[in-house]
Each structure stands twice: as structure tokens, then as C-alpha cells.
């Protein structure tokens, strides 16, 4: 009997309706949509470099880049890239920023998508990035860093800036560049 009551209680908790306001705000997104970004040509150049020119890439309008499996047709490449972006956006957007040898930051996700933060570009915009970085958190998001909850150093602030473009691209996934690898026979 106890098991049945516990099962019914668990079912009742799962059956709670999400309000229309909550549904309208899912998935959570940052309030900040930066109006300055490095060019997609620069993003493509860096991603081609990071992949040794051996990967097919899709660059979305706001710079989010998906590394494609080899051999996809153009149509399948576009569909795959859109699916990767949707998978990140519709799950918790876990990310890991990596410091690259060229001084840039590569924002990585649990799927083969990336955002490049070009240090020479963002350094010219540090004041606004430092002022707006908390607006780069998704609604109600708390990230635990070595400094504490939602306490970020400059590297983290730059990475959060870079991640905002994944959210912008995911909400309106428009492909800007479909790049094919430089493969020699």
C-alpha cells in the first residue's frame, strides 16, 4: 500500500501542469543579445584552423559553428547542424570554455557546436562585457565557479559573452556559411 501511495504521489507531482507563462519562457535564454560580434569569416578561419582544415563546418548567422560528420550532402549538413543546435538549446546548455594556443577562447558544448571568442576583438569591448556578463546567464541560471555562484573572472565573462550567440542562433537558426574541408586526395 505504501508503494502505491508513493507511486501515486510521484505521478501527481509529475502531472503538475506548466503554466502558460512558464511554457512561453522555455527554454530559458539570456536577456543580453550583444550587438557587436566578430565576423563570420573570422570565425570560419579560426574554426578551420582549430580543425586542421579537415572538417566540414556550418557557421550560423551569429557565429555558432557546428562541426559536421564527413560525407553529408548540403541538405543533410544543414539539417544536422540545425539538430545539433536544437539539442543544445532544448537541454541544459552546458558549456566548457577552453583557452586556445592562439589566445582565443573556444566555447564548447555537449554536442559538436562551438563559439569562438576572439580575444583581440573582445578586448576592445571589455567594458560592456564586464557590465553585461550577468545578463548573459539564462533565466534563473546559476553557474558555480571557483569564486562562488555566479561569480566570474574575466575569462568566464568572455566565455559567457561568446555563449550568448548560441542562444541567439538557436532561436533563429539561419545558416550563413556551409564550408567544406580542404581535403586533398
Check: CB of residue 173 under 8 Å from CB of residue 59: no
Q: 44: closest CA among 180, 183, 185?
A: 180
d(Cα 83, Cα 24) in Å, to the nearest integer?
A: 21
d(Cα 11, Cα 67) in Å, to the nearest integer?
A: 40
SS3 state of residue 115: strand
Q: What are the residue boundaries of the structural domains of the chain, listed by start?
A: 35-117+162-179
Q: Half-sphere exposure of residue 127, counting CA atoms within 13 Å on the CB side?
A: 1
pLDDT score for 12: 34
pLDDT score for 2: 37
d(Cα 35, Cα 127) in Å, to the nearest integer?
A: 14
CB neighbours of residue 102 within 10 Å: 13
pLDDT score for 118: 98
Cell 501542469, residue located: 17
pLDDT score for 10: 34
pLDDT score for 112: 97
pLDDT score for 124: 97
d(Cα 43, Cα 171) in Å, to the nearest integer?
A: 20
What is the reported pTM? 0.85
Q: Half-sphere exposure of residue 69, counting CA atoms within 13 Å on the CB side?
A: 8
Q: 44: closest CA among 36, 53, 35, 31?
A: 53
Cell of 49: 584552423
Q: From first to last of the 185 residues of the chain, give the pLDDT tens digit.
A: 333 333 333 333 333 333 344 545 678 999 999 999 999 999 999 999 999 999 999 999 999 999 999 999 999 999 999 999 999 999 876 899 999 999 999 999 999 999 999 999 999 999 999 999 999 999 999 999 999 999 999 999 999 999 999 999 999 999 999 999 987 64
Amino acid at each position: 500500500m505504501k508503494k502505491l501511495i508513493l507511486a501515486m504521489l510521484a505521478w501527481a507531482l509529475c502531472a503538475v501542469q506548466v503554466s502558460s507563462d512558464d511554457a512561453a519562457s522555455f527554454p530559458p535564454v539570456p536577456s543580453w543579445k550583444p550587438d557587436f560580434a566578430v565576423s563570420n569569416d573570422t570565425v570560419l578561419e579560426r574554426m578551420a584552423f582549430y580543425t586542421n582544415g579537415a572538417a566540414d563546418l556550418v557557421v550560423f548567422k551569429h557565429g555558432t559553428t557546428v562541426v559536421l560528420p564527413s560525407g553529408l550532402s548540403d541538405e543533410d549538413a544543414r539539417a544536422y547542424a540545425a539538430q545539433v543546435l536544437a539539442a543544445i538549446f532544448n537541454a541544459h546548455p552546458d558549456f566548457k570554455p577552453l583557452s586556445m594556443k592562439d589566445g582565443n577562447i573556444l566555447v564548447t558544448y555537449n554536442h559538436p557546436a562551438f563559439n569562438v571568442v576572439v580575444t583581440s576583438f573582445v578586448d576592445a569591448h571589455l567594458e560592456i562585457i564586464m557590465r553585461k556578463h550577468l545578463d548573459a546567464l539564462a533565466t534563473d541560471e546559476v553557474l558555480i565557479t571557483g569564486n562562488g555562484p555566479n561569480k566570474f573572472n574575466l575569462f568566464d565573462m568572455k566565455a559567457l559573452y561568446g555563449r550568448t550567440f548560441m542562444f541567439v542562433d538557436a532561436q533563429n537558426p539561419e545558416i550563413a556559411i556551409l564550408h567544406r574541408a580542404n581535403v586533398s586526395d
